[in-house]
A and B are shown apart, each in its own frame.
Chain A
Amino acid sequence: MIVRDGDWKLFDYDFHTGRSVWVMEDGNRTHWRTDYPVENLVRQNEFTRHATAGNAFGEWTKVASIPLHLAHSENLVRAHSEGDDRYVKRWLNDGDNRAWRSFEGHL
């Protein structure tokens, strides 16, 4: 059975996380789309930020939980591998990415 969303065809579905990967052929190129449900994660991160507010940076402080596809597409994984901490920290300190932070404080 082929599951469709308009011209998009379901390529992969992960029951555990709800991630779906869609593919679309326009006759010339193959397009990919990944849908991640992140509502829960945004709320979890917000909850964690509040729960740890006022804590000092202890041992093994979880600073951020970033959706996997975003970590790759925003080049955070690559930058972190290459030791470009400035890039990663700038990204994490950016107010636009606050939803993925699970611990307050400037890195």
Chain B
Amino acid sequence: MAVLTNTFQTTQAVGNREELSDVVSRITPEDTPIYSLIEKGKCTTYHPEWETDELAAPGANIREEGEEYAFGAITPPTRLGNYTQIMRKDWIISATQEVTAEAGNVQKRKYQKLKKGVEIRKDVEFAIIDTNATVAGSTREFGSLSTWIVSNASRGAGGANDGFNIGTGLTVAPTDGTQRAFTKAILDSVMQQGYQNGANFRHVSVSPYVKSVFVTFMSDSNVAPFRYAVSQGGERNTIVATADYYEGPFGTVMIHPNRVQAVNGAVARNAFFIDTDMLSFLWLRQIQEDRDVAKTGDADKGVIIGEGTLKVHNERGLGVAADLFGLSSAS
């Protein structure tokens, strides 16, 4: 149908507000590498579910002349799911402080809103790379990335995969192994497992320390020895804040330092290999301000809240090199 003349459309409007979550996503996307990389979608329930199906492994297929047919059983697709997690940030500013600064009330609120929005986005990143298994109930937690991956994993001695449990519908956190230094052999092992399982790893997210170890892989025995320039006194270590583009045996890969992975040793010990087609973040309630917070007392209150979950389309498209020394050469 044609649009009537003079219909005022959103494309002509200049004052339409963008959603807070859109604005927040655009501010320094490099701070939350995995969340920025993956697609954002919507879900309509606190327990979204999806299915994965796969082809049987190739094998010998030789039949006799005149043979009667026999029929194999169909394996139903695996049903996967994750629970949404509610994340919240809040602030309260006394009315006196509100008027003390030169900026107006709106701008002060706006500033806090953006700041808390960016903080909540980092919390989303933290929840993705954390080691939390899925928790159902009223204080729900979504199963983090490390609890899903079982197919393409390299773990230290004593480490064990757990992954998604079809019976309970929950993920189980893996068992930690003995920590070890990140080596090219570990990297190649995960890359090869991924390649064989059909993954197309294009990004690797690691703690800043692991990224610095990664750089030393250039000094492989089959290439000329390589020396590094030492930072001059007082200079910043900008080399850490870069996306490194590598030509590897299984294609090109971009390595991202993830500062959120440097928060503690438990999250720094994992290096994630990501095929962005296999991962997305579903919002049940996008990051938004609760505008109905009741005003009480001599202060201005604000709440930012969001509820969402991680959707692992198929864990075979993702990989983890676990139990690494992620903060220093011995931790």
| A interface list, Cβ under 8 A from B | 2, 9, 11-12, 14, 16-19, 21, 23, 25, 30, 32, 34, 36-41, 43-44, 47-48, 51-52, 54-69, 71-72, 76-77, 80-83, 85, 88, 92, 107
Complex Cα distance A66/B187, Å? Answer: 22
* B residues less than 8 Å from A92 (CB atoms): 245
Given contacts A57-B247, A59-B220, contact A40 B110 (CB under 8 A): no
Interface size on B, residues (CB 8 A): 56
* A residues less than 8 Å from B220 (CB atoms): 58-60
Give B180-193 as 1s and 0s: 1 = Cβ < 8 Å from A's Cβ atoms: 00001001100000
Instruction: Answer whether residue B29 sits at the interface, using C-beta atoms and an 8 A cutoff.
Output: yes
Please name the residue on chain A nearest to B236 by beta carbon: A18
Q: Are B203 and A16 in contact (CB under 8 A)?
A: no
Q: Are B110 and A77 in contact (CB under 8 A)?
A: no
Given contacts A61-B246, A64-B244, A81-B203, contact A36 B224 (CB under 8 A): no
Please name the residue on chain B nearest to A85 by beta carbon: B252
**Majority SS of interface residues in chain B?**
mixed
| B interface list, Cβ under 8 A from A | 23, 27-30, 36-37, 101, 103, 107, 110-111, 114-115, 118, 184, 187-188, 200, 202-203, 208, 215, 217-218, 220, 222-224, 226-229, 231-232, 235-249, 252, 254, 256-257, 259, 276
Q: How far is the CB of B104 from chain A (nearest CB, A)?
A: 9
Question: Can you report 14 residue pairs joining A to B where beta carbons are below 8 Å apart?
Answer: A14-B259, A18-B238, A23-B114, A36-B238, A37-B236, A38-B238, A41-B238, A41-B239, A47-B229, A59-B217, A62-B245, A63-B246, A68-B242, A83-B202
Given contacts A60-B248, A77-B254, contact A41 B242 (CB under 8 A): yes
Q: Are B217 and A60 in contact (CB under 8 A)?
A: yes
Please name the residue on chain B nearest to A51 by beta carbon: B226
* B residues less than 8 Å from A63 (CB atoms): 245-247, 252
Complex Cα distance A71/B225, Å? Answer: 28
Extra contacts besides A40-B237, A44-B238 (4): CB < 8 Å: A18-B238, A65-B243, A71-B242, A92-B245
* A residues less than 8 Å from B239 (CB atoms): 40-41, 44, 65
**Majority SS of interface residues in chain A?**
mixed
Q: Are A67 and B242 in contact (CB under 8 A)?
A: yes
Closest 9 A/B residue pairs (Cβ): A68-B30, A18-B236, A17-B241, A71-B243, A58-B223, A65-B242, A81-B276, A64-B245, A41-B238
